[in-house]
């Protein structure tokens, strides 16, 4: 597996006061935008081709991609304001072959998140974590360790609630074909169709999708000011500290 897709079409309206001139992937917690940190983490993990699906303020991503000597490409979802995340992913269907990692642009995470998925024995997997209490969580229910459902309202889920959706998944060619098939049918009536709660859940009814759990994973999604504060004051410093500790251990 040497490819990844980053979904970055969202408008980030809840963070417009913080990133008024750019997409939320260009928030900075350290010296670089969080999406650039994600790119470099992917490349360090052995990913060789990355597709960023853009929408709002796409020029920022196009300029960023130009720094990586063809390893990062962009494709634009012109209907980003009226469509869901699966419609963005649909735009990448001709640019990726075989397995790929699927990520969201507004994440900060430790490298272990990628390692767990890349080393998982199954061709597809959805990474879940222990409770974050971050607000706006997407809960994942499983049966026999495989995806059963997802919802922000846990009372809607029938299976065992096993963790929270991180927003990093491993997509096999077979799984992607199922997702594309489901989405093409949905697009006949509405483009508001999401990759996770809609396409993945629908595909999971037909093929087994494991949901590996990392209870103590360091990660944060940044959708609003509360998320941003948590990421800035709590999660990001821990990720930096863990990275520094690993560097010391590897050189000692």
Higher-confidence residue of 87 and 21: namely 87
* φ, ψ (nearest 5 deg) of residue 199: -70, -45
Quick: pLDDT tens for 140-174: 999 999 999 999 999 999 988 999 999 999 999 99
**Cα–Cα nearest to 65, from 56, 52, 76:** 52
pTM assigned to the model: 0.94
Q: What is the pLDDT of residue 247?
A: 56
Quick: pLDDT tens for 187-201: 999 999 999 999 999
Q: What is the pLDDT of residue 228?
A: 95
Quick: pLDDT tens for 175-226: 999 999 999 999 999 999 999 999 999 999 999 999 999 999 999 999 999 9
Quick: pLDDT tens for 95-130: 999 999 999 999 999 999 999 999 999 999 999 999
Looking at the structure of the chain, the number of domains it has is 1
Q: What is the pLDDT of residue 245?
A: 72
pLDDT of 18 strictly over 80: no
What CATH number is given to the structural domain containing 31? 3.90.550.10
Residue 4 burial (CB < 10 Å; 0-12/13-18/19+)?
Answer: buried
2 CB neighbour count, 10 Å cutoff = 12
Q: What is the pLDDT of residue 51?
A: 98
Alpha-carbon distance of 50 to 68, in angstroms, equals 10
Q: Name the residue range of residue 173's domain.
A: 3-251
Helices (H), the chain: 34-44, 58-65, 85-90, 112-119, 173-187, 201-204, 225-230, 236-251
Q: What is the pLDDT of residue 214?
A: 98
Higher-confidence residue of 111 and 247: namely 111
44 CB neighbour count, 10 Å cutoff = 10
């Amino acid at each position: 597996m040497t490819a990844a897709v980053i979904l970055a079409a969202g408008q980030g309206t809840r963070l417009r006061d913080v990133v008024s001139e750019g997409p939320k992937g260009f928030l900075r917690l350290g010296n670089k935008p969080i999406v650039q940190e994600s790119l470099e983490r992917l490349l360090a993990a052995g990913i060789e081709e990355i597709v960023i699906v853009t929408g709002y303020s796409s020029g920022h991503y196009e300029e960023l991609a130009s720094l990586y000597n063809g390893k990062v490409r962009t494709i634009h979802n012109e209907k980003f304001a009226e469509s869901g995340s699966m419609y963005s992913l649909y735009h990448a269907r001709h640019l990726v072959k075989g397995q790929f990692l699927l990520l969201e642009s507004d994440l900060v995470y430790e490298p272990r998140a990628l390692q767990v998925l890349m080393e998982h024995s199954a061709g597809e997997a959805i990474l879940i974590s222990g409770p974050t209490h971050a607000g706006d969580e997407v809960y994942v229910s499983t049966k026999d360790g495989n995806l059963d459902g997802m919802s922000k309202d846990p009372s809607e889920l029938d299976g065992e609630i096993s963790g929270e959706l991180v927003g990093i998944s491993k997509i096999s060619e077979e799984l992607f074909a199922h997702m594309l098939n489901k989405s093409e049918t949905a697009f006949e009536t509405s483009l508001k169709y999401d990759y996770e709660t809609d396409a993945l859940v629908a595909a999971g009814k037909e093929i087994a999708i494991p949901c590996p759990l990392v209870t103590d994973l360091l990660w944060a999604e940044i959708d609003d000011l509360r998320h941003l504060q948590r990421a800035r004051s709590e999660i990001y410093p821990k990720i930096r500290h863990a990275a520094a500790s690993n560097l010391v251990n590897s050189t000692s």
